[in-house]
């Protein structure tokens, strides 16, 4: 299988790319290496797989329509795993327009790409943040997600709706998943588990906000 992985040098994308190549699949890794966190960490993520004959790195932005059209002409793609996004709840509150531009416009470009190829298979990485202030636990995929509480969450909900629309209009085979607190090697350095582990390793105190509840 030939798989396009957007955000393929990030935490989840690079791990998936490794697994796909080991499994015998071919991977086109699309990543912009933006400055949300140190781009050198992303390059380190794909260092081992970069020399593999079934791995191709394309440095570019999912908002670049011409680039996506060029990829459709240049590569045979059987499936797309769309993990590229501007991440982070708090930063999205400070810069909501950037999140709207990257996440929604970028996903529209990816959907148009999938519409232009055969077969039309896509996995979209949404976010658990779409559940907002839902007090029912455990969460269910059937729970309402109509009250996001950050621009980031709102963009992810909007992208889920776009995926549904393209499935309805054009028959795209799309699965949306909502990851919760993914952790492990290559995790983004600002994430809680990464920070706590680093502080514990250094013997540093872990800050507690409020009463810790």
Structure token digits, residue 152: 């980031």
Q: How many other CB atoms are there within 10 angstroms of residue 126's CB atom?
A: 21
The stretch 191-196 carries a mean pLDDT of 73
Instruction: Decide which of 1.10.3720.10, 3.30.70.20, 3.40.50.2300, 3.40.50.720 is the CATH code for 2-182.
Output: 3.40.50.720
Buried b (16+ CB within 10 A) or exposed e, 19-54: ebbeeebbbbbbbbbeebbeeebbeebbeebeeeee
The residue among 71, 153, 180, 81 whose CA lies nearest residue 121 is 81
Q: What is the pLDDT of residue 79?
A: 98
With 0-12 / 13-18 / 19 or more C-beta atoms within 10 angstroms meaning exposed / middle / buried, residue 140 is exposed
Q: What is the pLDDT of residue 212?
A: 65
Q: Residue 198: which pLDDT band, with cuts at 50, 70 and 90?
A: confident
| 193, pLDDT greater than 80 | no
CB 172 within 8 A of CB 115: yes
| 157, pLDDT greater than 70 | yes
Q: Residue 213: which pLDDT band, with cuts at 50, 70 and 90?
A: low
Q: What is the pLDDT of residue 125?
A: 98
The stretch 33-61 carries a mean pLDDT of 94
With 0-12 / 13-18 / 19 or more C-beta atoms within 10 angstroms meaning exposed / middle / buried, residue 90 is exposed
Say which of 99, 152, 170, 209 is annotated catalytic: 152
Mean of the per-residue pLDDT values of the chain? 93
Model confidence pLDDT, tens digit, residues 106-123: 999 999 999 999 999 999
Q: What is the pLDDT of residue 197?
A: 80
| 26, pLDDT greater than 90 | yes
Judged by average pLDDT, the poorest of 57-61, 71-75, 131-135, 207-211 is 207-211
H helix or E strand, kind and range, residue 69: helix 65-74
Model confidence pLDDT, tens digit, residues 28-44: 999 999 998 899 999 99
Model confidence pLDDT, tens digit, residues 79-95: 999 999 999 999 999 99
Q: Residue 199: which pLDDT band, with cuts at 50, 70 and 90?
A: confident
Model confidence pLDDT, tens digit, residues 174-187: 999 999 888 887 77
The residues spanned by each domain of the chain are 2-182
The residue among 111, 109, 131 whose CA lies nearest residue 173 is 111
Q: Model pTM? A: 0.89
CB 178 within 8 A of CB 128: yes
| 190, pLDDT greater than 90 | no
Structure token digits, residue 27: 């991977």
The residue among 9, 2, 60 whose CA lies nearest residue 28 is 2
Buried b (16+ CB within 10 A) or exposed e, 166-183: bbeeeebebebebeeeee
Please say if 152 is a catalytic residue.
yes
């Amino acid at each position: 299988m030939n798989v396009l992985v957007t955000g393929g040098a990030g935490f989840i994308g690079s791990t998936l790319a490794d697994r796909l190549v080991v499994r015998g699949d071919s991977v086109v890794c699309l990543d912009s290496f933006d400055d949300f966190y140190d781009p050198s960490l992303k390059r380190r993520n794909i260092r081992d797989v970069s020399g593999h004959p079934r791995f191709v790195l394309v440095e570019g932005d999912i908002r670049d329509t011409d680039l996506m059209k060029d990829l459709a002409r240049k590569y045979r793609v059987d499936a797309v795993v769309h993990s590229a996004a501007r991440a982070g709840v708090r930063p999205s509150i400070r810069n909501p327009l950037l999140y709207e531009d990257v996440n929604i416009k970028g996903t529209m470009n990816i959907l148009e790409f999938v519409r232009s190829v055969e077969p039309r298979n896509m996995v979209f990485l949404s976010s658990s943040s779409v559940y907002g202030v839902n007090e029912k636990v455990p969460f269910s995929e059937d729970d309402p997600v109509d009250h996001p509480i950050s621009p980031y969450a709102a963009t992810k909900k909007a992208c889920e709706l776009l995926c549904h629309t393209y499935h309805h209009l054009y028959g795209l085979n799309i699965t949306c998943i909502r990851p919760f607190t993914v952790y492990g090697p290559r995790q983004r350095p600002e994430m809680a588990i990464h920070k706590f582990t680093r502080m514990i390793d250094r013997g540093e105190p872990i800050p507690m906000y409020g009463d810790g509840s």
